[in-house]
Chains A and B, each alone.
Chain A
Amino acid sequence: MNTEDIKVCVLRVGGTNCDAETQRAFTELGAKAEVIQVSDMIKKRNLLDYNVLVFPGGFSYGDYVRSGVIFARHLSANLGKEIRQFVDEGRPLLGICNGFQILVEYGLLPGFSGISEFPEATLTTNEPAGFKCKWVYLKQENRGKCAFTSAIPAGKTIQLPIAHGEGRLLFPKEKEQALLKKIIDQDMLVFRYCTKDGETAEGKYPDNPNGSFHDIAGICNPEGNIFGLMPHPERAMYWWQQPTWTRENQMLKYGDGKLIFQSIINKLTKTNH
Chain B
Amino acid sequence: MNADLIVQRENSQVLEFKIAKATKAQLQEINSELALGFSAEELSIIQAYFIKEKRNPTDIELQTISQSWSEHCCHKTFKGKIQLNGKEISSLFKTYLAKATKEINAPWCFSVFEDNAGIVKFDKGYGIAAKVETHNHPSAVEPFGGAATGVGGVIRDILGVWADPIACTDVLGFGPLDYDYNKLPNGVKHPKYIYRGVTAGISAYGNNMGIPTVNGAIYFDDSYTGNVVVYCGCIGLLPLNKYVRSGKVGDYVVLSGGKTGRDGIHGVTFASAELTEKSEEISRPAVQIADPIEEEKVKRAVVGIRDAGLGSGITDIGGGGLSSAVGETAERFGSGVAVDLEKVHLKHEGLSPWEIYLSESQERMLMTIPPENLEQVMAIFEKEDVHAVAIGRLIPERRLRLSYKGELVSDIDMAFLFSTCEITKTATLEQAKLIEPDFPEPQNLTQTLLDLLAAPNIASKEAVIRTYDHEVKGNTLLKPLQGDYAGPNDAAVLKPVDVSNKGLVISCGMNPNYGKIDAYWMAASAIDEAIRNNLAVGGRRIAILDNFTWGNPEKSERLGSLVRACEACYDVATNFRTPFISGKDSLYNESPLGPVTPTLLITAIGIIPDINKTVSVDLKAAGNLIYIVGDTYSELGGSEYYKLKGFLGASVPKLNASKARKSYYNLTKAMGEGIVKSCHDLSEGGLAVAAAEMAFASGLGLELDLQKVPAKNVSRDDFMLFSESNSRFLIEVAPEDQKLFEELMGKYSKPIGKVTKEQKLIIKGLSGKAVIDASIDKLRYSWKKTLNPKEDIQ
Chain A proximity mask over B442-470: 1 for CB below 8 Å, otherwise 0: 00000000000000000000000111111
| Interface pair B471/A206, CB less than 8 Å apart | no
User: By the criterion CB–CB under 8 Å, are B471 and A133 in contact?
Assistant: yes
Q: How near does chain A come to B653, taking the closest CB pair, in angstroms? A: 29
Contact (A21, B474) CB under 8 Å given A37-B384, A128-B791, A132-B466? yes
The answer to whether A133 and B383 have CB atoms under 8 Å apart is no
The yes or no answer to B593 lying at the interface (CB within 8 A) is no
A232 close to B471 (CB less than 8 A): yes
- Contact of A62 with B208 in the complex, beta carbons under 8 Å: yes
Within 8 Å of chain B (Cβ to Cβ): is A196?
yes
Distance of A240 Cα from B791 Cα, bound (Å): 29
- The answer to the question of A91 belonging to the interface, with a C-beta cut-off of 8 Å to chain B, is no
Give B614's nearest chain A residue, CB to CB. Answer: A246
Least distance between A55 CB and chain B CB atoms (Å): 15
Give every chain A residue within 8 A of B789 (Cβ-Cβ). Answer: 128
Q: Given A14-B296, A244-B484, answer yes or no on A131-B471 (Cβ-Cβ < 8 Å).
A: no
Q: A254 to B360: give the CA distance in the assembly, Å.
A: 46
A74 → B minimal CB distance (Å): 12
In contact, B467 and A14 (Cβ under 8 angstroms): no
Complex CA distance for A17 and B385, rounded to whole angstroms: 16
Q: Which of B292, B383, B469 contacts A40 (CB 8 A)?
A: B383
Nearest Cβ on chain A to B497's Cβ, whole angstroms: 12
Give residues 9-31 of A contacting B (CB, 8 Å).
14-18, 20-21, 24
A131 engages B469 (CB within 8 Å): yes
In the complex, the answer to whether A17 meets B296 with C-beta atoms within 8 Å is yes
- Contact check, A133 vs B469: say whether CB atoms are below 8 A apart: yes
Q: Which residue of B207, B472, B474 has the most chain A CB atoms within 10 A of its CB atom?
A: B474
> Closest approach, in angstroms, between the C-beta of A201 and any C-beta of chain B?
13
Tell me if B391 counts as interface (CB < 8 A to partner A): no
Within 8 A of A (CB), among B467-481: 467-479
B474 touches A17 (CB 8 A): no
Known: A14-B296, A18-B472, A246-B614. A39 touches B466 (CB 8 A): no
Contacts of A133 in B (CB 8 A): 465-471
Interface stretch (choices B43-51, B150-158, B176-184, B615-623): B615-623
- Say yes or no for B495: interface residue by CB 8 A criterion: yes
Residue of chain B at shortest CB distance from A240: B477
Asked whether, in the complex, the Cβ of B471 is within 8 Å of the Cβ of A17, the reply is: no
B792 at interface, CB cutoff 8 A: yes
Q: Which residue of B lies closest to A58 (CB)?
A: B210
Is A148 an interface residue when CB atoms closer than 8 A count as contact? no
A105 within 8 A of B: no
Give chain B nearest CB distance to A109 CB in angstroms. 23
The chain A residue sitting closest to B495, CB to CB, is A240
| B293: A residues at CB distance < 8 A | 14-15, 59, 61-62
Q: How large is the interface on B (under 10, 10 to 19, 20 to 34, 35 or more residues)?
A: 35 or more
Q: Which residue of B lies closest to A246 (CB)?
A: B616
Tell me if A235 and B791 are in contact (CB < 8 A). Answer: no
Given contacts A37-B384, A62-B292, contact A244 B791 (CB under 8 A): no
A14-B297, A15-B208 are known contacts. Are A205 and B791 too (CB-CB below 8 A)?
A: yes
Contacts A21-B473, A132-B467; A206 near B791 (Cβ below 8 A): yes
Are B472 and A247 in contact, CB atoms less than 8 angstroms apart? no
Q: How many residues does chain A have at the interface if contact means C-beta atoms less than 8 Å apart?
A: 37
Taking CB atoms, residues of chain B closer than 8 Å to A59 are 207-208, 210, 292-293
Given contacts A61-B293, A244-B484, A247-B620, contact A131 B203 (CB under 8 A): yes
Is B498 in the interface zone, CB < 8 Å from A?
A: yes
The reply on A163 being an interface residue by CB < 8 A is yes
Smallest distance from the beta carbon of B179 to chain A beta carbons, Å? 23
Q: With A62-B293, A128-B791, A244-B483 as given contacts, are A17 and B468 in contact (CB-CB < 8 Å)?
A: no
CA–CA, A47 and B498, complex, Å = 28
In the complex, what residues of A have CB within 8 A of residue B369's CB?
none
B611 at the interface (CB under 8 A from A): yes
Contact A24 B466 (CB under 8 A): no
* Interface assignment of A134: CB less than 8 Å from any CB of chain B: yes
Residue in chain A with minimal CB distance to B791: A205
* A163 and B383 form a contact (CB under 8 A): no
Q: Is B230 an interface residue (CB 8 A)?
A: no
CA distance A21 to B494 in the complex (A): 14
A243 at the interface (CB under 8 A from B): yes
Q: Chain B nearest CB: distance from A257 CB in Å? A: 9
> Across the interface, which residues of A come within 8 angstroms of B559, CB to CB?
none
Closest to A241 in B: B474
Contact partners of A134 in chain B: CB under 8 A: 466
A252 to chain B, nearest CB (A): 14
- Contacts A37-B383, A62-B292, A246-B616 given; indicate if A17 touches B472 (C-beta within 8 A): yes
> Are A234 and B292 in contact (CB-based, < 8 A)?
no
Q: How far is the CA of A16 from the CA of B383 in the complex (A)?
A: 15
Q: When the two chains form their complex, are residues A206 and B792 in contact, meaning their CB atoms are under 8 A apart?
A: yes
Residue of B nearest to A232 (CB): B471
Residues 150-171 of chain A: 1 if any B CB is under 8 Å from the residue's CB, otherwise 0? 0000000000010100000000
Question: Does A130 touch B at the CB level, under 8 Å?
Answer: yes
Q: Is A188 among interface residues, defined by CB-CB distance under 8 A?
A: no
Is the CB of A147 closer than 8 A to any CB of chain B?
no
CB contacts (< 8 Å) of A146 on chain B: these are: none
CB distance from A203 to the nearest CB of B (A): 13
The chain B residue with its CB closest to the CB of A22 is B474
Closest 9 pairs between A and B when the two form their complex, measured CB to CB = A17-B210, A21-B474, A246-B616, A62-B293, A163-B469, A235-B474, A15-B293, A244-B483, A14-B297
Q: A18-B472, A62-B208 are in contact. List 11 more A-B contacts (CB 8 A).
A: A17-B472, A24-B474, A59-B207, A62-B292, A62-B293, A131-B203, A133-B471, A134-B466, A163-B469, A196-B484, A240-B477
Instruction: Give 10 CB contacts A-B under 8 Å.
Output: A17-B208, A18-B473, A18-B474, A59-B293, A128-B789, A133-B471, A163-B207, A235-B474, A246-B478, A246-B614
- Chain A positions near chain B (C-beta within 8 angstroms): 14-18, 20-21, 24, 37, 39-40, 57-59, 61-62, 128, 130-134, 161, 163, 196, 205-206, 232, 234-235, 237, 240-241, 243-244, 246-247
